Amino acid sequence: MKYPTIILFALAAFVLPTFAANDYLWGEVGENDYKLAKDTVSKAFFVGLVQTKKYVFKQSDNLNALTITAIKVTDKKKSHGATAVLVSGGPGSKGATIKFTSERGYGIKDTVEIWGR
């Protein structure tokens, strides 16, 4: 009776990470924060290759630019989603650069929301 339970947990340990989305949150969204941007980052798959894409958020008016308080990245793929790395900027600064990297043979489809005040 105990072996089926162990097999079930072992199987879940291998299967569940495949279906996990790669969602990220840098910083914290406060009550008085404004949504500065909401963009979709996507790049089609290519068989056998790892896809990368760089997302750059830059405010047009540096004198009146708001400070970023949070960046939320939501993976729109159910499985084999891309990873995101905050390369520069982010919470506490005026801009941000995020690098997305897909799994080999898969594409990128994420939503980026940037909050600030």
Q: What is the pLDDT of residue 5?
A: 56
Identify the helix (H) or strand (E) that includes residue 2: helix 2-19
The low-confidence residues of the chain, meaning pLDDT below 50, are 8, 11, 16
Q: What is the pLDDT of residue 62?
A: 75
Least Cα distance to 103 among 49, 32, 59 occurs for: 49
Q: How far apart are CA 113 and CA 116, in angstroms?
A: 10
pTM of the model: 0.80
Q: What is the pLDDT of residue 4?
A: 59
Q: What is the pLDDT of residue 2?
A: 59
